Amino acid sequence: MSELEGEKVRLEAVIADTPEPSALRLHPRLPARCRVLIEDLAGALNAPEVRREATASLQALISEVRMVPDGTAPGGHQLELVGELAGLMALGQP
């Protein structure tokens, strides 16, 4: 137990000495670009000749779907997708 306590103290010191990472800054047009890519993806998912493959690819990229309460959204909730953002965006590329 004392060995674990020592490790805890050491890790707390590492955390205290580690600077806070800078805030992630996203490009201001990123939401609009994502919207276009998702709309393109929705069209691809509805094409009968690729529907099965596209659906499987999309399912592999999404690890979690969260329903988030939002009084201003239709139905009072928004869906939040969690997963491989870079992979999702790449699906919209030709």
- Summarize pLDDT for 6-15 with one digit per residue, the tens: 999 999 999 9
> 37 vs 30, 34, 49, CA distance in Å?
10, 5, 20
Instruction: Tell me the pTM.
Output: 0.41
The Cα–Cα gap between 10 and 52 comes to 51
Q: In sequence order, what are the residues at sequence separation of 6 or more whose Cβ sits closer than 8 angstroms to the Cβ of residue 44?
A: 50, 54, 91
- Summarize pLDDT for 32-89 with one digit per residue, the tens: 887 787 777 777 778 888 888 878 877 888 888 889 899 898 889 988 888 876 666 6
- CA terminus-to-terminus distance, the chain: 57
Is the pLDDT assigned to residue 1 strictly greater than 80? Answer: yes
